[in-house]
A and B are shown apart, each in its own frame.
Chain A
Amino acid sequence: MSGHSTYEPKTGFERWLDMRLPIIRMAQDTAINFPTPKNLNYWWTFGGILAVMLGFQIVTGIVLAMHYVPHVDHAFASVERIMRDVNYGWLIRYMHANGASMFLLAVYIHMFRNLYYGSYKAPREVLWILGCVIYLLMMATAFMGYVLPWGQMSFHGAVVITNLIGALPVIGDSITTWLWGGFAVDNPTLNRFFSLHFLLPFMIAGVVGLHIWALHVPGNNNPTGVNVKSKEDTVPFHPYYTVKDGFAIALFLILYASFVFYNPNVLGHADNYIPANPLVTPAHIVPEWYFLPFYAILRAVPNKLGGVLAMFGAIGVLFVLPWLDTSKVRSMRYRPTAKLYFFIFVVACLVLGYCGGKLPDDPVIPGLTSFTLIDADLNSFVWLSRVAALYYFAYFLVILPVLGLIETPLPVPESISAPVLSHPASTPAGAVASPEKRG
């Protein structure tokens, strides 16, 4: 798709097929001959890892759906029946449950890599936005999947999250009732969540197709952020990146397997092995780890509607990121100031995740009471989340727009091959950036 097709049909059948459905040509151009920058590092392997994880989730999910019963009276027991009586049911279910965590872990690394190397910038804005759509679909799928075992956390998590919609003025309550299929989270809710949980992964697969298409038009970004200039800068995707991605995927599978076989429940919550009981609310309702940063943002705002808007805003801001970042230099390798702010951003996200798992009013430093500010003690997780959430938004809305205009980036190499031949560390540190690279 990018550049000219180099496929030459070799046999009569291939020539015949190529005139009618050039599917071999497409495979050759996108997965075999596709010119790929030769300097991609291991952070670039997560795309392949994600594709593999999506495959695992769909295959294990379809097998689980053969045995699962989407009914409030049978869901919990049917999941346990899978664990106990279905041949290798424990393997399939633990792969699916831990696979969700691994999938989200990989997508977060993929997104941070994107932010660091500026892969969202022109001409890859559509590629980035499609990625954000995939991420949104993944979150919806993961949330609904967690409801299906119908344990205590499933049920009460579903109540908390669906109630958020009720915060919308005027239409909120009607929409919530419509989503529930009744006046509370009940059997109709479980049924539609199962149906949608089955549907969404195929929508994800569809958008992944678009994502890969949009990737293959401009081609890969790379750690230098410099465009591919010549054939010297690239290698064919196969075998160079099939083997490198393959190695990274195998390493990732070892991590995945260590959870599945040796710690299958460590990423979940013990309360979800208690069958759902609408009359008993768990002491602490916490979402799965991958939602904790957003949960912290939700709780950081004292007003419910404000919290909901902030939470969705935290995802929404990603969609306009390509137009918020004013810097023309893609890779933060050559933006020392931006690099510093980026690492603070990563820390802010981790802090938000940590706060999301804690009780908002608990002290961050135990035993120390400071003073009450607005509605909570300053030494509390709610205030720590506020600071981190403020930085989260400031990073996108203030730091990236302003920094691109005022910073002086380091000199950017002429081509991808240049820093390989002469490492950037050997160029004089005080070298003046070329004026056209500024702002």
Chain B
Amino acid sequence: MLRKGITLAALGLALIGGAAQASTHAKEPMEVDWSFDGPFGKFDKEQLQRGYKVYREVCSACHSMNLVYFRNLGQPGGPFYDPKYPNPNDNPYVKALAKDIQVKDIDSETGDEIQRPATSADHFPAPFPNEAAARASNGGALPPDLSVIAKAREGGPSYIHSLLAGYVNPPAGLTMSPTQHYNPYFPGDLTSAWSGKGHAPPGGFLAMPPPLTDNKVTFDDGTKSTVDQQAKDVAAFLMWAAEPKMEERKRFGFGAMIYLLIFTGLLYASYRRIWRNVAH
């Protein structure tokens, strides 16, 4: 039976391996020890708070997060969750964070477009009114929405961290326009832009200039604000934004696994007992 189990597992692995991607010409993301790795991993609340600050002060100038609502910040597993406020809409911290931000609305009396302070029921406002405006302000490139970006890129948060912290000067021999920026972690193929010796360098060009610098964001908890720290924190925040129910999922999964293991054990014992007198 063990042999059969191994055969099954090998077959499963081989099938999963089949889905593996063809290699891109980019560097593998740097290894990061995330607090949310593994079956018992949890988000580091302070890291999420720092990451939110990086998003709010840096990323949100160009990137929308249309699927994330201010109330999400106060939900269990979120950066500003407070067990005193099971309903995140009552969380004073969340309300205060929302109030600082202006969102567009329609005046119900006059029908005019107005600006008002956000409430916990609003989603994060987008920096540009539409795609054309976003492209016009960014040299023709569209800054992607970041709501689920950590699930929409191979490598997830580690890739985001590497991309943000991994900008280097382009090697000599790489032809690029002034609106392009070289990053060894960005997927692409630089063969046509390469006039140097040997193989083209790994990575690609992207329109986003290096967004982070040391001390660009002041962390309220006193954490040293290096580029690497900011990149890690915002990557963790984006992972939470993409998978806000991850902690609930893993907690539920633990219970489900215990239940299934006991159930399986009982079934196996019943199986042995029922079949004990049958030669087979």
A269 to B151 alpha-carbon distance, docked (Å): 9
CA distance A289 to B20 in the complex (A): 9
Task: Say which one of A56-64, A166-174, A258-266 lies at the interface with B.
Answer: A258-266
A288 with B19, Cβ < 8 A, contacts A247-B268, A265-B151, A270-B152 known: yes
What is the CA–CA distance of A232 and B21 in the complex, to the nearest angstrom?
52
Which single member of A84, A250, A288 contacts B260 (CB below 8 Å)?
Answer: A250
Name which residue of chain A comes closest to B68, CB basis: A84
Q: Is A273 an interface residue (CB 8 A)?
A: yes
Give Cα A131 to B142, complex, Å. 48
Q: Mark B232-248, 1 if CB is under 8 A from A, else 0.
A: 00000000001011001
Answer whether residue A274 sits at the interface, using C-beta atoms and an 8 A cutoff.
Answer: yes
In angstroms, Cα B268 to Cα A273, docked, is: 40
Is B111 in the interface zone, CB < 8 Å from A? Answer: no
The verdict on A432 contacting chain B, using a C-beta distance below 8 Å, is no
- Chain A residues in 8 Å Cβ range of B14: 350, 353-354
A244 to B8, CA, bound (A): 17
Chain B's closest residue to A292 (CB) is B18
Determine the chain A residues whose CB is within 8 A of the CB of B101 once the complex forms. Answer: none
Alpha-carbon separation in the docked complex, A270 to B275 (Å): 46
Q: Tell me, yes or no, whether A130 is within 8 Å of chain B by CB.
A: no
**Interface size, B (range):** 35 or more
CB contacts (< 8 Å) of A108 on chain B: these are 15
Query: Do A254 and B257 form a contact, CB below 8 Å, given A84-B72, A84-B245, A420-B280?
Result: yes
**A244 to B1 alpha-carbon distance, docked (Å):** 13
Q: Which residue of B lies closest to A266 (CB)?
A: B16
A289 near B16 (CB under 8 angstroms)? yes
B76 within 8 A of A: no
Q: Is the CB of B15 within 8 A of A243?
A: no
| Residue interface bits B248-264, CB-to-A below 8 A is 1, else 0 | 11101110110011011
Residues of B within 8 A of A286 (CB): 19, 21
Q: How far does the alpha carbon of A38 sit from the alpha carbon of B249 in the complex, in Å?
A: 41
Does B278 lie at the interface of the complex (its beta carbon under 8 Å from any beta carbon of A)?
A: yes
Chain A nearest Cβ from B270, distance in angstroms: 5
Q: A358 — nearest CB in chain B belongs to which residue?
A: B22
In contact, B271 and A84 (Cβ under 8 angstroms): no
Q: Evaluate contact between B250 and A261: CB separation under 8 angstroms.
A: yes
CB < 8 Å neighbour of B20 from A350, A357, A421: A357
Q: Which of B130-161 contact A (CB under 8 A)?
A: 144, 147-149, 151-154, 156
Residue-wise interface mask of B (152-174) relative to A, using a CB-CB cutoff of 8 A (1 in contact, 0 not): 11101000000000000000000
| Chain B nearest Cβ from A31, distance in angstroms | 16
Check if A421 sits within 8 Å of B279, measured CB to CB: yes
A267 and B16 within 8 A (CB): yes
Asked if residues A244 and B256 are in contact (CB atoms below 8 Å), the reply is no
Q: What's the Cα separation between A38 and B274 when bound, in Å?
A: 12
A261-B252 contact in complex given A243-B274, A250-B263, C-beta closer than 8 Å: yes
Chain A residues with Cβ below 8 Å from B8 are: 109
Residues of B within 8 A of A293 (CB): 18
Contacts of A247 in B (CB 8 A): 264, 267-268, 270-271
A289 to B14, CA, bound (A): 10
Query: A357–B260 contact, CB under 8 A?
Result: no
For chain A, which range describes its interface: under 10, 10 to 19, 20 to 34, or 35 or more residues? 35 or more
Smallest CB gap from B251: residue in A:
A261
| A243 and B271 in contact, given A260-B253, A420-B280 (Cβ under 8 angstroms) | yes
A271 touches B152 (CB 8 A): yes
Q: In the complex, what's the smallest C-beta–C-beta distance from A299 to chain B, in angstroms?
A: 13
- Interfacial chain B residues near A243, Cβ < 8 Å: 267, 270-271, 274-275
Query: Is the CB of A253 closer than 8 A to any CB of chain B?
Result: yes
A389 to B19 CA separation, bound complex (whole angstroms): 18
Chain B contacts for A394, CB-based, 8 A: none
Asked if residues A270 and B20 are in contact (CB atoms below 8 Å), the reply is no
Shortest Cβ distance from residue B240 to the other chain A in the assembled complex, whole angstroms? 12
Choice from B148, B249, B257 contacting A273 with Cβ under 8 Å? B148
Which of the residues A105, A257, A357 comes within 8 Å of B256, measured between beta carbons? A257
Known: A270-B151, A357-B21. A39 touches B260 (CB 8 A): no
Residues in A whose Cβ lies below 8 Å from that of B16 = 266-267, 289
Q: B21, B156, B244, B275: which has the most chain A beta carbons within 10 Å?
A: B21
A77 CB–B CB distance under 8 Å: yes
Report if A251 contacts B (CB, 8 A). yes
Say yes or no: B260 contacts A262, CB within 8 Å. Answer: no
Chain A's closest residue to B24 (CB) is: A283
Residue of A94, A243, A258, A265 most packed against chain B (CB within 10 A): A243
Which B2-30 residues sit within 8 Å CB-CB of chain A?
4, 8, 11-12, 14-24
Q: Which of B15, B156, B271, B278 contacts A289 (CB 8 A)?
A: B15
A202 CB-CB contact with B under 8 Å: no
Q: Chain A contacts of B278 at CB under 8 A? A: 38, 235, 240
Q: How far is the CA of A396 from the CA of B254 in the complex (A)?
A: 45
Using known A-B contacts A84-B72, A270-B153, A274-B152, determine if residue A353 contacts B18 with beta carbons closer than 8 Å: yes
| CB of B39 closer than 8 Å to a CB of A | yes
Q: Does A359 contact B (CB under 8 A)?
A: yes
Q: Kindly state whether residue A80 has any CB partner on chain B within 8 Å.
A: yes
List 17 contacting pairs A-B, 8 Å CB cutoff, sorted by A. A84-B244, A90-B248, A91-B249, A108-B15, A239-B274, A243-B274, A257-B253, A260-B253, A261-B250, A267-B16, A269-B19, A273-B151, A289-B15, A353-B15, A354-B14, A356-B18, A417-B279
Using CB atoms and an 8 Å cutoff, list the residues of chain A in contact with chain B: 38-39, 41-43, 77, 80, 83-84, 90-91, 94, 105, 108-109, 235, 239-240, 243-244, 246-247, 250-251, 253-255, 257-258, 260-262, 264-267, 269-271, 273-274, 283-284, 286, 288-290, 292-293, 350, 353-354, 356-359, 362, 417, 420-421
Beyond A247-B264, A264-B249, 5 additional contacts (C-beta under 8 Å) are A105-B15, A108-B15, A246-B267, A271-B152, A288-B19
Name B's A-contacting residues (CB within 8 A): 1, 4, 8, 11-12, 14-24, 39, 66-67, 72, 144, 147-149, 151-154, 156, 187, 242, 244-245, 248-250, 252-254, 256-257, 260-261, 263-264, 267-268, 270-271, 274-275, 278-280
